[in-house]
Structure 1
Amino acid sequence: MNKIALMKNGCCILVMVLTLASCGDKKNKEETTAKADSIPKPTTKNQILGVARIEPEDGIMSLTAGTSGRVLSVMIDDNQAVKKGQVLLDVEVVLENAQLRQAQSKVGTQQATIAANQATLEALKITQNNARDNYERNLELYKGNAQTQQALNDSKATFDKLTKDIQTAEANIRQAQAKVEEIKADINYFRAVVEKKRVGALMGGKVLKVLVKTGDYVNNDTKIADFAPDGALFAKTEVDELYAERVQLGQKAFILSQTSGDTLATGTVTYAADYLKQKSLFKDQSTEQEDRRVRDVSIRLESGKMPLIGSRVDCIIVL
């Protein structure tokens, strides 16, 4: 009898162990299933779930060359932070440098011409003073019948001619000075063109992806890099029209990883569009037709581990 009882007890224990093991496996499967779900199920009805994309406030920008020429060197790399004015590309400027040097040489030539005209003017003024003295002396002599009319007229003609020569010399100097200013304007222009050939950052931020390489030919509209300007990051989502009116500025939001379901960051709703539009964010297919309307919503990330720019995340807006 004792042996039979012991066998019965052993069987019971074995059944219990198998039952517990089965429950454990079931529990592990349930936990695995729950963990694979990227968005935790809301505990209340006061939440809105959505899919968002992480971007700067004004979105990811495309930097353009803003000039034309062959790229001599690329001064930036992927994932590089840059400051405003920092050089991004060096572009070939052979022609522009030649034009700049030519304009600079013209300034020297023109200034030499001005100097020669001024020397001529000074000499004419001295000669004119002598001619004036000679004319005035002949005029006094003529009044005293000590000089002929012809001599008086000749001295007057000489003085008048010198006066006109001085006026012409002064006009030439003014014209040459104006020409110098024109050449200086050309120099400033060519300098600006040469400087523009060194493509610089218009604002601080991060270069996400460089799109050109040394040897490429670029023009004004050539995209050279994807760029994220400095500033806060935003989770941009679309809320279905069924819940759109429930979204308000200032509401708290949680940003979660789509792979692990972990909370990456928290944020606040800072923008909610005043209109509904056709769904466009994260369509399964580019040709997909949607009758539903959605409201654009932006959530400013405040703290936590910032997601990668351009990544897709899940978000929970607490109403």
Structure 2
Amino acid sequence: MQTTIPKKTGLLGWTTGFWLSLLAAGLIACNKDADKADAATADSLQTPTTSKRILGVARIEPEEGILNITAGTTGNIVRVLMNENQPVQKGQSLLTVEVAVETAQLAQAQSKLAAQQAAIRSNAANLEAMRVQLRNARDTYARNIKLYEAKAQTKQALEDSKAEVDRLEKEVEAARATLAQSQSRLGELKADINYYQTLVRQKKVTAPEAGKILNVLVDPGDYVTSDTKIAELAAGSTLIAKTEIDELYAERVQVGQPAVIISQTTGDTLARGTVSFAADYLKQKSLFKDQSTELEDRRVREVHVRLEKGKMPLIGSRVDCLILVQ
């Protein structure tokens, strides 16, 4: 009996171990199947593995930056010709500023120009008349010389005709000087007109670059000076996600790598893009820094991701930037 009981006990132990082994093998197989299913799902979503992606916090900005537009002139605003979110072209009018004084000065200069042109025509006609008289006087003097030599004219008549030539020569010279002075004055008036036209044009504030108006800072009736900020403009039409990558992973980022922009609140994919810039140096963190005096023991590499055309995140929004590295 003592030899039989151990055999039975051994058989039971072996049987229990066998079934436990089968159960463990089944669990391992199930886990492997689950891992394969998860991998298949991940592949279908094109989600990279941790070793092939780098995550950074980014800010959405225009690739060409945000421009602060100033009035560039002085006066009261008559009309505001722009709205927030409005696309504008380079040279498009944004404001109309009161130009009453400059317009009056321009009209006055134009009136003077017309009067001066009339004076020039009169002076030119007078000069031509004087030249005709001088030619006639010279002809008379030449005839009197011949007549005097032929004893058919008196010396007094000859001298009188010579004096007439001298007088007319001086008058022609004076008329020529008057015409030249009038023409010079005409040039001055044209310069005045160009100046006042420039002042009037400067009152029409225009967009310095093509882009989108983000913020309008003035209203009709406001008085502006040359330095008054009137609007913020997102230059160009391309947006970037500007991020900073920790120096530990910085070397793995290269221009041309794809990236995904993800909402920090919902986790949704907002946009896709491509790395367009990766700085050649490391610097202190500047984006999303809580305090300017915050101490750091690591440096970062600035990286820009140019977003593809389509639905874009809001400018200035804070997002996650997932860079897919090789």
Q: TM-score, normalised by structure 1?
A: 0.82
Structure 1 residue identity aligned to 2:133 = T
Aligned to 1:143: 149
1:312, 1:184 → 2: CA distance? 56
Aligned to 1:63: 69
Q: Is the 8 A contact 1:278 1:291 kept in 2?
A: no
Consecutive unaligned residues of structure 1, counting only runs of 5 or more, are 1-40
Aligned to 1:86: 92
Task: Assess, with a 3 A threshold, how the Cα gap between structure 1 residues 118 and 251 changes in structure 2: closer, same or farther.
Answer: same
Aligned pairs (5 A) from 1:221-236: 221-236=227-242
Q: Matched residue of 1:128: which SS?
A: helix
2:309, 2:121 → 1: CA distance? 70
Question: What root-mean-square deviation, in Å, do the aligned CA atoms of Structure 1 and Structure 2 show?
Answer: 1.8
Aligned to 1:318: 324
2:196, 2:280 → 1: CA distance? 48
Q: Is the 8 A contact 2:48 2:324 kept in 1?
A: no
2:266, 2:142 → 1: CA distance? 108
Aligned to 1:179: 185
1:166, 1:291 → 2: CA distance? 91
Aligned to 1:107: 113
1:252, 1:131 → 2: CA distance? 95
Consecutive unaligned residues of structure 2, counting only runs of 5 or more, are 1-46
Structure 1 residue identity aligned to 2:265 = T
Per-residue deviation at 1:74? 0.9
2:126, 2:146 → 1: CA distance? 30
1:166, 1:241 → 2: CA distance? 88
Choose which of 109, 123, 130 in structure 2 pairs with 1:124: 130
Q: TM-score, normalised by structure 2?
A: 0.81
Structure 1 residue identity aligned to 2:159 = N
Task: Assess, with a 3 A threshold, how the Cα gap between structure 1 residues 99 and 293 changes in structure 2: closer, same or farther.
Answer: same
Choose which of 197, 200, 215 in structure 2 pairs with 1:209: 215
1:197, 1:299 → 2: CA distance? 39
Aligned pairs (5 A) from 1:22-41: none
Structure 1, residues 291-317: CA drift from partner, whole Å, max 9, x if none? 432211110111553101111111011
2:124, 2:216 → 1: CA distance? 57
Per-residue deviation at 1:236? 0.7
Q: Is the 8 A contact 2:63 2:236 kept in 1?
A: no
Structure 1, residues 6-41: CA drift from partner, whole Å, max 9, x if none? xxxxxxxxxxxxxxxxxxxxxxxxxxxxxxxxxxx9
1:303, 1:124 → 2: CA distance? 77
Structure 1, residues 226-268: CA drift from partner, whole Å, max 9, x if none? 1112321111111122222221111111100111011111110
Task: Assess, with a 3 A threshold, how the Cα gap between structure 1 residues 212 and 290 changes in structure 2: closer, same or farther.
Answer: farther
Structure 1 residue identity aligned to 2:130 = L
Q: Matched residue of 1:134: which SS?
A: helix
Structure 1 residue identity aligned to 2:189 = I
Per-residue deviation at 1:165? 1.4
Aligned to 2:251: 245
Aligned to 1:76: 82
Structure 2 residue identity aligned to 1:168 = A
Q: Is the 8 A contact 2:261 2:319 kept in 1?
A: yes
Give the number of aligned pairs.
279
Per-residue deviation at 1:52? 0.8
Task: Assess, with a 3 A threshold, how the Cα gap between structure 1 residues 194 and 291 changes in structure 2: closer, same or farther.
Answer: farther
2:202, 2:310 → 1: CA distance? 40
Choose which of 234, 241, 260 in structure 2 pairs with 1:254: 260
Q: Is the 8 A contact 1:54 1:234 kept in 2?
A: yes
The alignment status of 1:271 with 2:271, answered yes or no, reads: no
In percent, how many aligned pairs have the same letter? 62
1:291, 1:138 → 2: CA distance? 111
Structure possessing the higher radius of gyration over alpha carbons: 2
